[in-house]
């Protein structure tokens, strides 16, 4: 049955290798089951329900990717997108989490339609590579800023806006310790370095009496507080259009970039260098996002951590199916997830920020018409506390600079139209 489903021999692999690859991938991304509930609960969502939604949405995405697309790519609620959901859409803009879930659902519907009608390629190719890198880096800086704020390392100041917090506080010390531990373990190629860092800080805090032991295993919490609580009609108001676009835009480029990178790492491209069954892989992402919104979590997307499983031999969808089963198994670890403090997950956010800012390496720094919009997009995200604002500033500045520099040939109709729409949005709805 497994041979018939996944064509193991054709991909020169076996069940043992695929299971090992699935376990490896899961360990590198399992931190999301601790980080996501902690982050989304700041919006007023029930933490236990979000924990269940996170695990189930990840399992659904992985199962579709494995059984339908037959790729060793794992999915889960995406980092960056969950921060945008919690701290910008709900925290800063004041929308309810129900409306935010509605926006996630609608972005998943749009992603699905783009995949069905094969418009995604046109959109992806319309956005300059440099600007894509700047947006990814900006999301990373946004995550890092949130983590430093939550840990009390960066605090507000009426004179300078922000300043250094109390570095002798327990949260600041534990965040710093967790971060250096994660980086050191990652450098030594230790599988699950991020999860180890989170658990290490939690154990130290438990021993020190900073947190209370609530047990390790129990029956899964009820998902009822968030299940089908999304407000689709509320998400259809005109002011939410840019938010839906931001969810869609980030997910589209995140997923496409991840799939291409993973395919290259595992030699999964065909003889023409194309990604076979790309439509099916994108379908898995869009359906998982819609299902996740219905369950009660932010956008579900493909994880670059899938490359860790591919590096140990994962070549088929069986790897993704193993990850799905492990996520379902984690449903019984809700007491552990609820016990982990915010300063234990902050190091994971900072570490992800480091990985995401790596995209700045690809920028042509000698061409200021390329570099300047990238810096504007990246810096404005954390400072405005909004991914949407960063994307808008990036688009507008890129188009304007190119036009005034006499390099209009570098632009296309999609860039110009989107820049105008973003300018209108900032002028009218900001």
User: SS in 3 state form for 193-217?
Assistant: HHHHHHHHHHHHHHHCCCCCCCCCC
CB neighbour class for 248 (10 Å; exposed up to 12, middle 13-18, buried from 19): buried
Which residues, in sequence order, are CB contacts of 62 under 8 Å at separation 6+? 74, 75, 320, 321, 323, 324, 327
What are 115-137's pLDDT values in tens digits? Answer: 777 776 677 667 787 887 888 88
> Can you tell me the distance from the alpha carbon of 140 to that of 378, in angstroms, rounded to the nearest whole number?
9
Residue 75 — φ and ψ, nearest 5°? -125, 155
Buried residues in 105-143 as b, exposed as e (16+ CB within 10 A) = bbbbbbbbebbeeeebeebbeebbebbbbbbbbbbbbbb
> Can you tell me the distance from the alpha carbon of 260 to that of 274, in angstroms, rounded to the nearest whole number?
9
Residue 57 — φ and ψ, nearest 5°? -60, -40
What are 217-276's pLDDT values in tens digits? Answer: 888 889 999 999 998 988 888 778 888 888 887 787 777 767 766 776 667 666 665 667
CB neighbour class for 245 (10 Å; exposed up to 12, middle 13-18, buried from 19): buried
Confidence of residue 400 (pLDDT cuts 50, 70, 90): very high
**pTM score > 0.95 for this model?**
no
Number of CB atoms found within 10 A of residue 241's CB: 16
Confidence of residue 96 (pLDDT cuts 50, 70, 90): very high
Higher pLDDT, 301 or 250: 301
Tokens 């070549």, residue? 315
What are 152-194's pLDDT values in tens digits? Answer: 899 988 888 889 999 999 999 999 999 999 999 989 988 778 8
> Can you tell me the distance from the alpha carbon of 117 to that of 119, in angstroms, rounded to the nearest whole number?
6
Strand, coil or helix: what is 267? Answer: coil
> Can you tell me the distance from the alpha carbon of 64 to that of 275, in angstroms, rounded to the nearest whole number?
17
What are 19-51's pLDDT values in tens digits? Answer: 888 888 888 888 888 889 988 998 999 989 999
Q: What is the mean pLDDT of the chain?
A: 85
* Residues β-bridged to residue 77: 300
């Amino acid at each position: 049955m497994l041979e018939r489903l996944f064509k193991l021999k054709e991909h020169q692999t076996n069940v043992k290798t695929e299971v090992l690859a699935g376990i490896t991938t899961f360990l590198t991304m399992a931190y999301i089951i601790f980080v996501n509930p902690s982050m989304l609960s700041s919006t007023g969502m029930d933490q236990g329900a979000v924990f269940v939604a996170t695990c189930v949405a990840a399992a659904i995405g992985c199962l579709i990717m494995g059984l339908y697309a037959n790729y060793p790519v794992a999915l889960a609620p995406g980092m960056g997108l969950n921060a945008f959901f919690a701290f910008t859409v709900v925290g800063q803009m004041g929308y309810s989490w129900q409306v935010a879930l509605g926006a996630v659902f609608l972005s998943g519907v749009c992603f699905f339609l783009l995949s069905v009608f094969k418009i995604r390629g046109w959109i992806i190719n319309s956005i300059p590579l440099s600007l894509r890198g700047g947006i990814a880096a900006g999301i990373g800086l946004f995550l890092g800023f949130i983590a430093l704020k939550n840990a009390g390392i960066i605090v507000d100041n009426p004179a300078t806006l922000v300043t250094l917090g109390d570095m002798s506080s327990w949260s600041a010390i534990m965040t710093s310790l967790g971060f250096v531990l994660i980086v050191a373990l990652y450098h030594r190629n230790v599988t699950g370095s991020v999860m180890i860092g989170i658990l290490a800080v939690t154990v130290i805090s438990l021993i020190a009496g900073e947190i209370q032991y609530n047990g390790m295993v129990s029956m899964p919490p009820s998902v009822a507080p968030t299940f089908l609580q999304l407000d689709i009609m509320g998400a259809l108001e005109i002011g939410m259009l840019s938010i839906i676009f931001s969810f869609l835009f980030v997910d589209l480029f995140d997923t496409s970039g991840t799939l291409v990178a993973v395919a290259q790492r595992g030699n999964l491209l065909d003889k023409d260098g194309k990604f076979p069954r790309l439509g099916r892989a994108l379908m898995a992402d869009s359906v998982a996002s819609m299902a996740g919104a219905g369950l009660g979590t932010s956008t579900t997307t493909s994880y670059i951590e899938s490359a860790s499983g591919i590096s140990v031999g994962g070549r088929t969808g069986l790897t993704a199916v193993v990850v799905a089963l492990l996520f379902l198994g984690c449903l019984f670890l809700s007491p552990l997830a609820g016990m982990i403090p915010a300063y234990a997950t902050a190091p994971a956010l900072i570490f992800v920020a480091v990985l995401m800012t790596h995209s700045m390496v690809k920028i042509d720094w000698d061409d200021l018409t390329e570099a300047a919009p990238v810096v504007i997009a990246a810096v404005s995200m954390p400072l405005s506390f909004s991914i949407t604002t960063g994307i808008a500033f990036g688009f507008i500045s890129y188009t304007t600079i190119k036009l005034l520099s006499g390099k209009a040939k570098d632009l296309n109709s999609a860039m110009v139209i989107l820049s105008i729409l973003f300018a209108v949005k900032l002028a009218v709805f900001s």
